[in-house]
Structure 1
Amino acid sequence: MESTPLLSCSNKCVFCWRHGTNPVGTSWRWVVDPPDLIFNGIKENHYKKIKMMRGVPGVSSSRFVEAMRIRHCALSLVGEPIFYPYINEFLGMLHKERISSFLVCNAQHPDQLAALQHVTQLYVSIDASNKDSLRRIDRPLHRDFWERFQRCLDILRERRFRQRTVFRLTLVKDFNIEDEIEGYADLVERALPCFIELKGVTYCGTSTAGAAGLTMANVPFYQEVCDFVVKLNDALNKRGLGYGIAAEHAHSCCVLLASDRFKVDGKYHTLIDYEKFFDLLEEKGPDGDFGPEDYIGAETPEWATWGNGGFDPRDQRVDRKGRPIERP
């Protein structure tokens, strides 16, 4: 399930798929819906959406049945979820039903970040490596946006043994790729996240994005993303920071770097043991003393590791007319 408890954001990113139609602001000025209203509403509407897929060609019966039990929630649809005043209560409702929480924030709300309780995985959008580039691509509304950004990095460093943290880099050609490798390495060295996820931007049409100068020409090819990842990995290794290329998802134009903290007997374990996470949460509480290593999952499947493409062999790719695509 992908959702958000808040529509507003404090940035106007050039690649935002909402094209500026969502509200923006630096302070809270809206009616606050209680967390149970939002939680019950998103579950109800999620299941309605799934039920609409019954009988649709290409939808397998086993996948349909599986989808009728929410297991995971990505809080990243739109807006800035940690700015919602009752975010911890909302997370508690997810976790009570053993629904994992993947929360994405924009590194502009350090106070809320510092107060955030346990989430399954915490993503922070790192869309640029320096102040000028961040201003250009994220178009933040806070005047002290760079100071806020840096404070968030320091909080991540403090919390790295408590939260499973991820730098999410959305690569946009002519905006945040060229000559920024060392700058990104500086940010990684400052926050030492568990993972670094690099993905090519998804182009969502013109509208306000076009006015900002974003076109299909700004979407990197997968090979360009890979080249960038290799260079960043080399820069991190030269600094002795202990990262490596752990996994790739070529059809999503996405590659994952992981800290050596998640290497067991020379193999990356990037998966999550969700049942262990919930057991720890129930035992120790939302502010409990446990960290990412305590719920490391199984070894990363061979087909998902660097150089193997990342497409699950149990699935079948098809073209636009539904015809099977033969594997190379």
Structure 2
Amino acid sequence: MMKGVPGVRAERFQEAMRIRHCALSLVGEPIFYPHINEFVGLLHREQISSFLVCNAQHPQQLQDLQRVTQLYVSIDASNKESLRRIDRPLHRDFWERFQSCLEILRTKRFEQRTVFRLTLVKGFNVEDEVAGYAKLIEQGLPCFVEIKGVTYCGTSSAAGAGLTMANVPFYEEVVQFTKALNAALAAKAKEAGNGDLEYGIAAEHAHSCCILLASKRFRTNDRWHTRIDYGKFFELLEKEKMEGVGFRPEDYCAETPEWALWGNGGFDPRDVRVDRKGRPIDAA
């Protein structure tokens, strides 16, 4: 479908013909699929990475989940009432399920790249909830916290939840929230004397309205290492399978490129923005 679209380079189009990554998300709850571990194994056998997103409502399935390339958990609110309003959960014990999943994630943080995904929705989960989010991060201690603004698609389901374009935060608002959350985590780490709570603002993708907080575990020699080295991941996975040698998320990290670091915008200088007619857009 993208062939011939203005701005799509021929080499990128050709590269896209080889499947390298699989995102298990968006359409239902992937860990509820009874053969999810076998399916992930098939992906890895073909050296296709696995990015799995769950909603922290199925503790047993999360506990049973085997190694994936990156494990996301959607953290859509910092407290019970906000979560009820935003996610409209199916289970009466949704908050207890949510808490159990955070504890499971805490135990998995040295075997999986765990990510809390915070989707900010103005009027729902932004105002006065920084302290609550910091507490949840303290519970789960994820490797990374991805903070992004909600994308409004104009769907009937969004309208049913009371969402409009007014609920979409500006990037400046996401920045303010991230700085406040980072400060709250720093205060918690200092107060508790807990090195596990040391995080920092590592990277940004301004044009996607997205910012990344990372555990200081991923900062080596004063440089952030937040990218995934996919070749290394599959090499370690094979070694684990053949020799039983386990590995940690830090073992398959690559250094974050300069342009992606916090404060640099996050736009790859090798790319060019174009308008609908394929004319370059001035980055300035």
After TM superposition, is the score higher than 0.5? yes
Match for residue 165 of structure 1?
Answer: 114
Q: Which amino acid aligns with 1:308?
A: N
Aligned positions of 1:116-265 closer than 5 A: 116-240=65-189, 241-265=197-221
Match for residue 247 of structure 2?
Answer: 290
Q: 1:322: Cα distance to partner?
A: 2.5
Deviations 1:189-218 (A, max 9, x none): 001000000000000115232132111000
SS of the residue corresponding to residue 239 of structure 1 reads: helix
The structure 1 residue matched to 2:34, chosen from 65, 68, 85, is 85
Deviations 1:123-179 (A, max 9, x none): 000000000000000000011100000000000001110110000000000000010
In the alignment, structure 1 residue 314 sits paired with structure 2 residue 270: yes
Match for residue 7 of structure 1?
Answer: none
Q: 1:290: Cα distance to partner?
A: 1.6
SS of the residue corresponding to residue 108 of structure 1 reads: coil
Q: 1:291: Cα distance to partner?
A: 1.5
Match for residue 237 of structure 2?
Answer: 281
In the alignment, structure 1 residue 327 sits paired with structure 2 residue 276: no
SS of the residue corresponding to residue 227 of structure 2 reads: coil
Deviations 1:244-276 (A, max 9, x none): 000000000000000000001111100111111
Is contact 2:147-2:211 (8 Å) kept?
A: yes
Q: 1:239: Cα distance to partner?
A: 1.1
Larger deviation: 75-84 or 116-125?
A: 75-84
- TM-score (norm: length of structure 1): 0.82
Deviations 1:6-37 (A, max 9, x none): xxxxxxxxxxxxxxxxxxxxxxxxxxxxxxxx
Q: Which amino acid aligns with 1:226?
A: V
The structure 1 residue matched to 2:60, chosen from 103, 111, 129, is 111
Deviations 1:212-259 (A, max 9, x none): 211100000000000000000000001111100000000000000000
Unaligned runs of 5+ in 2: 190-196
Q: 1:56: Cα distance to partner?
A: 4.1
- TM-score (norm: length of structure 2): 0.94
Compute the RMSD of aligned alpha carbons: 1.4
Between the aligned partners of 2:124 and 2:46, the Cα distance in structure 1 is 41
Q: 1:57: Cα distance to partner?
A: 4.0
Match for residue 64 of structure 1?
Answer: 13
Is contact 2:147-2:210 (8 Å) kept?
A: yes
What is the number of residues matched between the two proteins?
276
Match for residue 23 of structure 2?
Answer: 74
State the identity as a percent: 74
SS of the residue corresponding to residue 248 of structure 1 reads: strand
Is contact 1:206-1:214 (8 Å) kept?
A: no
Deviations 1:59-94 (A, max 9, x none): 221111111111111111311100000000000000
Larger deviation: 249-258 or 67-76?
A: 67-76
